[in-house]
Amino acid sequence: MKRFLIPVLMVFILQPSNAQTKKITGFFEKNIGKELSLESAFDKNLNKDNIGETIKKLSAKPHHISSPGDKENAEYILSLFKQWGWDAKIETFYVLFPTPETRVLEMISPTSYKAILKEPALKEDATSGQSGQLPTYNAYSADGDVTSELVFVNYGLPEDYDVLDKMGVDVKGKIVIAKYGHSWRGIKPKVAQEHGAIGCIIYSDPADDGYFEGDVYPKGALRNEFGVQRGSVIDMSAYYPGDPLTPGIGATKDAKRLDRSEAPSLLKIPVLPISYHDAAPLLEALDGHVVPESWHGGLPFAYHIGPGKTKVHLKLAFSWDIVPCYDVIAKIQGSKFPDEWVIRGNHQDAWVNGAGDPISGQAAMLEEAKSIGSMLKTGWRPERTIVYCAWDGEEPGLLGSTEWVEEHEKELRDKAVVYINSDSNSRGFLFAEGSHALEPFLDEIAKQVIDPQTNVTVFDRRKAHRALSTNNDEAKKKIWNEKELKLGAMGSGSDYSSFIQHAGVPALNLGYGGEEPSGDYHSIYDSYDLYKKFQDPGFQYGVTLAETAGHAVLRMANADELPFDFTHLYRTADTYSKELITLMNKSRESTELENAIIRAGGYAVGEDPTKGYIVPPAKPEVPYLDFSPLQNALQQLGISVDSLRIVFQRNINTNRISDKFNQSLYRAEQQLLEEKGLPRRPWYRHTLYAPGYYTGYGVKTMPGIREAIEQRNWDEAQQQIEVDAKALLRLAKYFNALSARGD
């Protein structure tokens, strides 16, 4: 008997009751225990096998927007919500969605090759041979029939064209071929078009997601010879996401639409994605300069730039139909605050079967909804309204979520407490980005959710992984010593964009992944078979995502005081401001150095004289900007968030808080919107976060100032410093008024 005594005692010592150990901000002391037991009841209803079944069911057929499979899935998801006791409906929008009618790519000189433009079925992959698959194409490419010399432009980014300039290579009137990667795909044809190219081909190089990285499908998860990345090339970072014909308004049946010829987010040149099976003959035939060392890919020959004897013919035509877009919207009305909405979303449309993107995330979200449904049956109700959204049309350009936000913008600005997004999910490490006032909120959750493979918290696992992923000792030490979770800043690429960047709704984007490198993205091989074999074999990470996002939803829905901590927003904005000052100084130093080398004739003797390199012209010197308005505004904001923090704690201590105080907390982020929008892109209004004009998905923080500096537009940079300073001051004043009012 005795030997059992010690373990029993140890268990007792190591596991005191939840309420004593778990920190949970925003709840009165007396309500913490209730919330924690609610969350453990929620967790008990989550089932990994069920998540696997949902993934299988929803990825059983191709289900791109407006396809029969898409409609079937939307209706099935609707029926699930209803069955679980949610008040659910399908909200339909009508959006421009082109599909290909003609696709021809052929090399006509020096030899001929006709691209097959087809991913073959595999016997190891049950859905790979289905009918109804969208062909390989880039949505919103222009129609076109062009023939010209081919030029290899590396990843097709602005800096790649600087290198071409130096080599004396001009793409005007040519067709370019670019590698996938290093930017959002839509940037490649856009930059090509800006440089005068008449067509663009994008291919997946094996060095990026193929055999250079590991075994290819079906042996491994990496992209095989024939795999093609479909995807949208709508210019959403420069203009707006969503339906190209209805910027700023919901694409309802009778909405006023632009003529297609006037839609600014549509490209003017044809663009087509291909596999490396189709790209190799074209690339091998190129002559001209050998590429710089860093431009080489993984194919077994020397890469050349062209142009020259290699000519290609590209012919594309599309349907340009207006199609229905089915958003499934499900609600549970809040018992105390029905007009405060906690919103959770994940898209349901795919390019083909999309078991990983988006069904892995969708299945986790549905498991949350099912669990919440079971809790409803016990008589429980959330205090705030919970809204779950299965978006359609994310793949072509965040269509379903953007149209919904545009249609309901006024109501959302009033009612939306937070938007919590997810998308693809797989085995691995937590990634989290979002509004920085939510950093401590997610930190608490990440320190309570347990990683299924290692049994440590997902916070600890993420930190260890990040530390081990860097070779720089200083960075490693910094990460290893981090005590709190850091949120990444939000760019674009999933359905949170319109919430945060257009309507100022605080947002989070969550998911797991990173353990298994893969190359199935947007191909027919993103299937249940591949997902089950490589991405999350036991579907455990579906449960982990459901716990993480579900706890976030439940805490926001039930919090006595909404857990926004604006000290973190202030600190982050202060870091951004310091980064911009450093960026200016570095830009000044590097311009001075470069100009000195040019003036002293360094380029003429430093490069191979037989190659005919062109000496770049000297650049105008970089002036000094006045950052003081921004620094002063930040100083005010720092003071205001300190006072607000005191009031926040006092409310918790006294168990007293008004509805109005909570409403002011969740609406605060809207103070950071510049209603006129960013320069030349009025749809993007947030002064702290936007996707980069030339990065697409990648975020630019304090985008108005940062992009003006990067584009060397000094007057605009100075003017944007004033704009951002005003926004931060507006927020400081808002907080001062709130603190003065108290609860």
Q: How far is the CB of 69 from Zn ion (least distance, A)?
A: 16
Q: Which is nearer to Zn ion, 347 or 384 (CB)?
A: 347
Catalytic residue (choose from 313, 686, 707, 716): 686
Q: Which is nearer to Zn ion, 189 or 358 (CB)?
A: 358
d(CA 388, CA 366): 9
Tell me the β-bridge partners of 178: 202
d(CA 174, CA 352): 32
Q: Which is nearer to Zn ion, 230 or 568 (CB)?
A: 230
Residue 339, C-beta contacts closer than 8 angstroms, at least 6 positions apart: 385, 414, 415
329-348 footprint of Zn ion as x/- string (CB under 5 A): --------------------
d(CA 305, CA 324): 43
Active site residue 594: no
Lateral strand order in the sheet of 271-274: 113-114, 100-109, 311-318, 144-152, 175-179, 199-203, 271-274
Q: How far is the CB of 201 from Zn ion (least distance, A)?
A: 24
How far is residue 506 CA from its own chain's centroid? 15
d(CA 551, CA 49): 20
Tell me the β-bridge partners of 657: none
Residue 214, C-beta contacts closer than 8 angstroms, at least 6 positions apart: 220, 221, 222, 517
- Segment contacting Zn ion (CB under 5 A): 152-160, 350-358, 513-521, 541-549? 350-358
- Segment contacting Zn ion (CB under 5 A): 84-92, 230-238, 351-359, 568-576? 351-359
Q: How far is the CB of 79 from Zn ion (least distance, A)?
A: 23
d(CA 691, CA 440): 24
| Alpha helices, H only, 150-264 | 158-166, 187-194, 206-209
Q: How far is the CB of 376 from Zn ion (least distance, A)?
A: 29
Q: How far is the CB of 379 from Zn ion (least distance, A)?
A: 36
Closest CA to 336 of 631, 141, 558: 558
Q: Which is nearer to Zn ion, 42 or 391 (CB)?
A: 391
Q: Does 707 contact Zn ion by CB under 5 A?
A: no
Q: Which is nearer to Zn ion, 347 or 686 (CB)?
A: 347
Active site residue 686: yes
What the block records as the tokens of 535 is 């991405």
Q: Which is nearer to Zn ion, 228 or 314 (CB)?
A: 228
Exactly one of 327, 357, 406, 561 binds Zn ion (CB under 5 A); that residue is 357
What the block records as the tokens of 465 is 């992984």
Q: What is the dihedral of CA 59, 60, 62, 65, to 10 degrees?
A: -50
Q: Which is nearer to Zn ion, 368 or 423 (CB)?
A: 423
Q: Which of residues 397-426 bind Zn ion (CB under 5 A)?
A: 423
Catalytic residue (choose from 79, 112, 590, 628): 628
Q: 430 near 446, Cβ under 8 Å?
A: yes
d(CA 240, CA 244): 8
d(CA 532, CA 529): 5
Catalytic residue (choose from 394, 403, 547, 716): 394
Q: How far is the CB of 229 from Zn ion (least distance, A)?
A: 13
Which amino acid, 348? Answer: Q
Q: 586 near 593, Cβ under 8 Å?
A: no
Q: How far is the CB of 231 from Zn ion (least distance, A)?
A: 10
Query: What's the start-to-end Cα distance of the chain, in Å?
Result: 57
Rounded to whole angstroms, what are the CA distances from 628 to 581, 587, 632, 703, 713? 11, 19, 6, 18, 19
What the block records as the tokens of 659 is 């509805």
Cβ–Cβ contacts within 10 Å for residue 177, how many?
26
Tell me the β-bridge partners of 322: 96
Q: Which is nearer to Zn ion, 496 or 576 (CB)?
A: 496
Q: Is 262 left (phi over 0), alpha (psi -120 to 50) or beta?
A: alpha
Q: Which is nearer to Zn ion, 648 or 697 (CB)?
A: 697
- Helix then strand then coil, in percent of the chain rounded to 5, is 45, 15, 40
The residue written with tokens 């074209």 in the block is 282
Exactly one of 247, 307, 358, 519 binds Zn ion (CB under 5 A); that residue is 358
Q: How far is the CB of 421 from Zn ion (least distance, A)?
A: 10
d(CA 187, CA 694): 6
Closest CA to 206 of 275, 254, 153: 275
Q: Which is nearer to Zn ion, 423 or 716 (CB)?
A: 423
Q: How far is the CB of 423 from Zn ion (least distance, A)?
A: 4
Q: How far is the CB of 187 from Zn ion (least distance, A)?
A: 18
Q: How far is the CB of 356 from Zn ion (least distance, A)?
A: 9
Rounded to whole angstroms, what are the CA distances from 700 to 393, 637, 686, 703, 705? 25, 21, 11, 5, 10
180-199 footprint of Zn ion as x/- string (CB under 5 A): --------------------
Number of residues that bind Zn ion (CB under 5 A): 3
Q: Which is nearer to Zn ion, 398 or 708 (CB)?
A: 398
The residue written with tokens 């399908």 in the block is 90
Closest CA to 146 of 174, 179, 172: 174
- Interacting residues toward Zn ion by CB under 5 A: 357-358, 423
> Which positions are annotated as active-site residues?
394, 628, 686
